[in-house]
Amino acid sequence: MKGRDVLVKALENEGVKVIFGYPGGASMEIHQGLTLTKKIRMVLPRHEQGGAFAAGGYARATGEVGVCLATSGPGATNLITGIIDAKMDSIPLVAITGQVPSTVLGSDAFQETDIMGATFPLVKHSYMIQNVAEIPRIINEAFHIARTGRPGPVLVDIPKDIQQQEGIADFDVSFDCPSYRPNVKPSVLQCKKAAHAIQTAKRPLIYAGGGIVSSGASEDLRAFVKKTGIPVTTTVMGLGSFPSNDPLSLRMLGMHGAVYANIAINHADLVIAMGVRFDDRVTGKLSEFCKNAQVIHIDIDPSEINKNILVDIPIQGDVKQALKILHGYVEPKKDIKPWIKQVQDWKKEFPLEFKLKKGEIVPQSVVSDINKLADKDAIFSVGVGQHQMWAAQFLDFEKPNNWLCSSGLGAMGYGLPAAMGAQVAFPNRQVINIEGDGSFLMNIQELQTLKIENIPVKNIVLNNAHLGMVAQWEDRFYKSLRGHTFIGDANFAEIAHAFGIKSESISDPKDVVPALKRMLKHKGPYVLDVKYPYNDKSHGHVMPMIPGNHTYLDTCLDASTSLRDYWTKKGLLP
């Protein structure tokens, strides 16, 4: 068999159903091989970055390994943003790149790039295949490494002459890599210590992250909460791991999280951190974060434990297994009723809300409206910016894997291709991409992929002619001096029409709900361009907001009031 055909067969053996790939000189042999398979769907993105993000969206929505494919040189380097996005958010991804023939490696041949060297700090592992016989083993290892332990991206680079070379391959392979043995089994002793701390705590709080989703531990978390009665707040990666509307849910915490969630975690006497990495957008000023609480940290990656926050009870291992062990040792928390009442009072005092403005579309209201109109199992994708945070604040999630968000990297241009990947995985479900105009423009070429491949993603573009999040920071910290954040008006309905996609543009608030209904009713892809003015005096800013490296007391409740000011006036400042 040719190397290319060995590769395709090895991918079939790993259960690959979809590959997002863009051909070029160094990868066209692989594409020739893929035309012969009946088991793998090949989706042609219109940019390699779009392909990498689509593979990531596919992986987030399914929990399976996403696969992208590119040629050498610029094709390979265009995958890098999608690769590091997968690394930072712990998404299982295998990126396959064609490479110049091995006979000219190191000679600066046409479109030669050391993609292994370029991605070395961005992947869990990388390979360059050097002969046909090792292809099955390497592909098996790549997928095993991508999906096990802390999930992440793996790169496989294949020189063109190896793709063309004929050889005999043995597909009867099993994983045998002694240097890769991630510990997934939590210490029972540490779990017992944690259970004791939980039983003695008076103000416990669960802080859940993306690890709950990636380990498939959502049901275990819900069972644990049902038994103990402990309230839950999640990171942006953890949305959907616990039902948003459950009475014990505090929704999202952090820079733009719910005020009550940030107050609660800083008043807790025990923080149970599950599958999180104490990101700066959550902690703010590290020295002040939860400084009076004991911390239990459950994480599969030992390097995350004590990295940012010194913890009292570390539990290294799979959070799903840890929850099962803990469940057997904890008892219902009957002594935390005063704490639960206090938390509920904070929820009533500081609700996530917005104000409507006569004659003007309010973007938060658009998100709230689509939340009511969409199917309960709809998958939502977002780009990066204000729209991303409004979506995180005002969408409700009952299940995991329904939220696609470039969280750690914060890559603009993520929303459309990620939604595309999820829709390919689930062709009969609603997949809705909520975008800002700046983010949408960055991978707008994927509209052609939606059209040609008949991928019915619904796109809502919140269009205020600004790079809204950067402009918000300019308003708050740079006296509204605009440093190139006005990007101008664009009619995305006309652009979508040029691609042959059904679309419309609206600017009147009374048109929002009817337009959303028309969009959802349409069978194919759709672009709804929602025009509204950027307004720093009312709904133009994402609120609440904790400024970078500040504490929860510095939360901006609105344009002029901080939580510190609010509590000082009431005589409640801690």
3-class DSSP state for residue 227? Answer: helix
Q: What is the identity of the amino acid at 278? A: F
Nearest Cα to Cα of residue 261 among 224, 231, 303, 239: 231
48 is catalytic: yes
Query: Strands of 93-99's sheet, edge to edge?
Result: 41-43, 18-21, 66-70, 93-99, 153-159, 125-128
Q: Which DSSP letter does residue 31 get?
A: H
Q: C-alpha angle with apex 319: 317 to 323, nearest 5 degrees?
A: 120
Whole-angstrom CA distances from 331 to 229, 248, 380 are 10, 17, 36
110 is catalytic: yes
Q: Which DSSP letter does residue 2 get?
A: B
The residue written with tokens 């890559």 in the block is 411
**For residue 451, what are its two tokens?**
């059209």
Whether residue 240 contacts residue 399, with contact meaning beta carbons closer than 8 Å, is answered with yes
Nearest Cα to Cα of residue 217 among 315, 146, 333, 322: 322
355 is catalytic: no
Residues 6+ apart with CB under 8 A from 563: 259, 263, 552, 553, 554, 555, 557
Whether residue 275 contacts residue 252, with contact meaning beta carbons closer than 8 Å, is answered with no
Rg of the chain over Cα atoms, rounded to whole angstroms, equals 24
Catalytic residue among 110, 175, 477, 486: 110
28 is catalytic: no
Backbone φ and ψ for 11, nearest 5 degrees, come out as -65, -40
331 is catalytic: no
The residue written with tokens 């991928």 in the block is 455
Count other Cβ atoms within 10 Å, centred on residue 257: 28
Whether residue 96 contacts residue 8, with contact meaning beta carbons closer than 8 Å, is answered with no
**For residue 447, what are its two tokens?**
């509209």
Catalytic residue among 32, 111, 199, 342: 111
DSSP states of 419-454: HHHHHHH-TTS-EEEEEEHHHHHHTTTHHHHHHHHT
3-class DSSP state for residue 242? Answer: coil
Catalytic residue among 237, 420, 469, 543: 469
Catalytic residue among 87, 124, 160, 347: 160
**For residue 244, what are its two tokens?**
């948003």
Catalytic residue among 14, 48, 64, 112: 48
Looking at the annotation, which residues are catalytic?
48, 110-111, 160, 469
